[in-house]
Amino acid sequence: MLEALTGTGLAASAGLNAYIPLLIVGLLGRYTDLITLPQTWTWLSNGWVLTILGILLAIEVVADKIPAVDSINDVVQTVVRPTSGGLAFGAASSSETVAVADPGSFFSGNQWVAVVSGIVISLVVHGIKALVRPMVNVVSLGFAAPVVSAAEDFTSVVMSFVAIIIPVLVLLCLAGLAFGAWWLLSRRRRRTPKGGRVLSPD
């Protein structure tokens, strides 16, 4: 059960930022005892892989904070984020962590289930992010894009660590994400009259 929560948290994190959960898993697997990757996933802690992930993360962080560019980036990431989510779920669900000393045999023997689960979870979170972001840009004239993006990156980092160290709190994190998305979308509906024009905050 805990390994499923760990995988779910990392996959959801990938829906916000494709590279943060993979980079965290790789770094923790290489330099700490917080997570021990199985043989099939040790490539995530390879120095070259970590370097590439770091470069891609830097590009993603910049692109996602520029209005209009962030929407284009979301289109590109429609493939990347679910893929990352699948990899993150697959790696984490079969790894030993500080919370999971003996990963269950189900995901270990059915890795495709873990990968597909991660893809679906990440795709859902990515879809919500891609739906909310243009609305935020329109309402704020683009000024809120860097703030919202930074909040998403911060959430991805926190959820990744929570998923590995205290996986039971993943459900709370997911509830917070759902509430945040609902709140933003409800504000959009309240500000948009039947004609479709966005009303000013006043």
Residue bearing the bigger pLDDT, 73 or 114: 73
Over residues 123-140, the mean pLDDT reads 84
Residue bearing the bigger pLDDT, 185 or 128: 128
What pLDDT, on a 0 to 100 scale, did the predictor assign at position 202?
44
pLDDT tens digit sequence for 171-192:
888 888 788 777 766 765 655 5
Residue bearing the bigger pLDDT, 16 or 173: 16
- Apex CA 98: angle with CA 96 and CA 104, to 5°? 35
- Rounded to the nearest angstrom, the gap between the alpha carbon of residue 84 and the centroid of all alpha carbons in its chain is 9
Lowest mean pLDDT among 43-52, 66-75, 83-92, 147-156: 66-75
Percent of the chain whose predicted confidence (pLDDT) is above 90: 40
What pLDDT, on a 0 to 100 scale, did the predictor assign at position 191?
57
Name residue 47's amino acid. G
Domain residue ranges in the chain = 2-191
201 band by pLDDT with thresholds 50, 70 and 90: very low
pLDDT tens digit sequence for 85-108:
999 998 888 887 766 666 665 555
54 band by pLDDT with thresholds 50, 70 and 90: very high
pLDDT tens digit sequence for 138-161:
877 777 888 889 999 999 999 999
Q: Which residue has the tokens 């990938």?
A: 14
Structure tokens at 202: 């006043």
SS3 content of the chain, % helix, strand, coil (to 5): 80, 0, 20
